[in-house]
């Protein structure tokens, strides 16, 4: 764990550094606010101790600047001349804690423990929210702006939406954005990957089952439609669903009610259905693999998500976005990317689309040096 001490008194910063290093912490020191902010911009610190009374830039100014820089370290203010009002002001400005001099070792160690637990919890919560609620769709190209415009128009309505596009283009992200911008956003959002569920289990997964309805049904189970009641159900890879399951989904869409496997009791559900596929469903209909009536029920609105090769001008924005995202999630230091290296990424053919690009960015962050260079692209991408 890395700790930064910002204090203009050499004796205090050095003695505190020695104490914390003896406790096993990795410690850096700064003799003024400007130097401390510079270090905090380059390194990731779990905790920053900052003196309040310092020349040129005092501790309150440092606290403001760290917040403006987006530093998510726990900042602990220290002072030998402050009063309660100052301590309260520090906490209001975002400081984790306030400690008066002379510093007590036990208080310091307890504060570090509590601060790191809070920082870890905040990071975990941020990552969880991103996973649950999705993220902003990144891009300014004409094709992706059209998708965003469609989302804004369609989301407030309850119309069913069919999202089409190649693997890795971000169809799931479009679905999450449709839910988040809808009137159902406070209600459940349930995802089902139809391709990942065996055909013999898909009906139980979607509609639920009663206890004893089949060998392994040891208790009653609510299906995804019931779990999504009042909210949104996203059926991913709908083109891989069996014809038998398609018939039952069609019934739910028509009648807004279902029956669990092993039961003849109808259950009324209020669900907005979004579906996605990488297949041409009209071709699947011609082959007898997909019901035409279900297709028309699902495709009230069709959103076509462009491939990455159709929106190459978005690649620099996406690369910067993924660098920030991956570094935030893993604790890696952000990396600059050279202009010629970025050009090589733009010129590449991306058969795996957005998913492939994110994997490549993560690979480059792990394997490259202080900067991502053209030689890194040659070595690790092409």
Q: Residue ranges per domain, the chain? A: 2-133, 142-305, 309-380
Task: State residue 120's pLDDT score.
Answer: 75
Task: State residue 133's pLDDT score.
Answer: 47
The tens digit of pLDDT for each residue in 266-318 reads: 999 999 999 999 999 999 999 999 999 999 999 999 999 999 999 999 999 99
More confident position, 164 or 134:
164
Catalogue the E-assigned strands of the chain: 2-6, 26-30, 47-51, 74-79, 97-100, 161-164, 189-193, 232-236, 257-258, 267-268, 272-277, 301-304, 336-337, 371-372
| Portion of the chain with pLDDT greater than 90, in percent | 65
Domain 2-133, classified CATH 3.30.450.20, yes or no: no
| Portion of the chain with pLDDT greater than 70, in percent | 96
Q: Structurally, what CATH architecture does the domain formed by 309-380 represent?
A: Orthogonal Bundle (1.10)
The tens digit of pLDDT for each residue in 120-137 reads: 776 666 566 555 544 789
* Distance, CA of 197 to CA of 245 (rounded, Å): 12
Counting beta carbons within 10 angstroms of the beta carbon of residue 203, is it exposed (0 to 12), middle (13 to 18) or buried (19 or more)? buried
Tokens 């792990």 locate to 366
Nearest 5°: the CA angle 224, 238, 168 is 105
The tens digit of pLDDT for each residue in 14-48 reads: 999 999 999 999 999 999 999 999 999 888 899 99
Task: State residue 92's pLDDT score.
Answer: 83
Task: State residue 363's pLDDT score.
Answer: 96
More confident position, 122 or 345:
345
Query: What is the residue-averaged pLDDT of the chain?
Result: 90
Task: State residue 125's pLDDT score.
Answer: 63
Q: Is the pLDDT of residue 57 over 60?
A: yes
* Distance, CA of 22 to CA of 142 (rounded, Å): 57
* Distance, CA of 203 to CA of 128 (rounded, Å): 29
Task: State residue 294's pLDDT score.
Answer: 97
Tokens 């914390």 locate to 20
CATH class in words for 142-305 = alpha beta
Provide the whole-model pTM: 0.66
Give strand pairing partners of 49: 5, 76
Q: Is the pLDDT of residue 88 over 90?
A: no
Task: State residue 129's pLDDT score.
Answer: 55
Residue 4 phi, psi (nearest 5):
-115, 135
Number of CB atoms found within 10 A of residue 198's CB: 8
Q: How many residues does the chain have?
A: 382
The tens digit of pLDDT for each residue in 181-237 reads: 999 998 999 999 998 888 778 888 899 988 887 777 778 888 999 999 999 999 999
The tens digit of pLDDT for each residue in 323-341 reads: 998 998 888 888 899 999 9
Q: Do domains 2-133 and 142-305 have the same CATH topology?
A: yes
Task: State residue 313's pLDDT score.
Answer: 96
């Amino acid at each position: 764990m890395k700790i930064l001490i910002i204090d203009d008194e050499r004796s205090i910063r050095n003695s505190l550094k020695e104490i914390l290093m003896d406790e096993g912490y990795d410690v850096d020191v700064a003799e003024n606010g400007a130097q401390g902010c510079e270090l905090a911009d380059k390194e990731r610190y779990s905790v920053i101790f900052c003196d309040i009374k310092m020349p040129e830039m005092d501790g309150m100014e440092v606290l403001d600047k760290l917040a403006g820089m987006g530093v998510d370290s726990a900042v602990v203010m220290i002072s030998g001349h402050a009063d309660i009002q100052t301590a309260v002001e520090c906490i209001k400005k975002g400081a984790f804690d306030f400690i008066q001099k002379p510093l007590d070792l036990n208080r310091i160690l307890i504060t570090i423990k509590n601060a790191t637990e809070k920082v870890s919890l905040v990071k975990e919560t941020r990552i969880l929210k991103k996973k649950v609620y999705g993220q902003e769709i990144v891009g300014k190209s004409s094709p992706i702006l059209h998708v965003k415009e469609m989302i804004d128009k369609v989301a407030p309505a309850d119309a069913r939406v069919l999202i089409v596009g190649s693997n890795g283009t971000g169809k799931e992200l479009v679905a999450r954005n449709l839910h988040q911008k809808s009137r159902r956003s406070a209600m459940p959002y349930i995802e089902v990957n139809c391709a990942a569920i065996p055909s013999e289990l898909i009906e139980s997964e979607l509609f639920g089952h009663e206890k004893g309805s089949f060998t392994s049904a040891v208790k009653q189970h609510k299906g995804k439609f019931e779990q999504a009641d009042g909210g949104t159900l996203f059926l991913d890879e709908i083109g891989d669903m069996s014809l038998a399951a398609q018939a039952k989904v069609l019934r739910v869409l028509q009648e807004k009610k279902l029956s669990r496997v092993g039961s003849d009791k109808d259950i009324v559900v209020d669900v907005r259905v979004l579906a996605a596929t990488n297949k041409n469903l009209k071709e699947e209909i011609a082959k007898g693999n997909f019901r035409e009536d279900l297709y028309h029920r699902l495709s009230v609105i069709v959103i076509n998500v462009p491939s990455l090769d159709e929106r190459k001008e978005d690649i620099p924005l996406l690369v910067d976005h993924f660098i920030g995202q991956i570094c935030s999630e893993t604790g890696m230091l952000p990396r600059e990317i050279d202009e010629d290296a970025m050009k090589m990424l733009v010129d590449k053919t991306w058969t795996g689309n957005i998913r492939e690009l994110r994997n490549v960015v993560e690979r480059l962050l792990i394997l490259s040096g202080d900067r991502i260079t053209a030689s890194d692209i040659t070595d690790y991408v092409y």
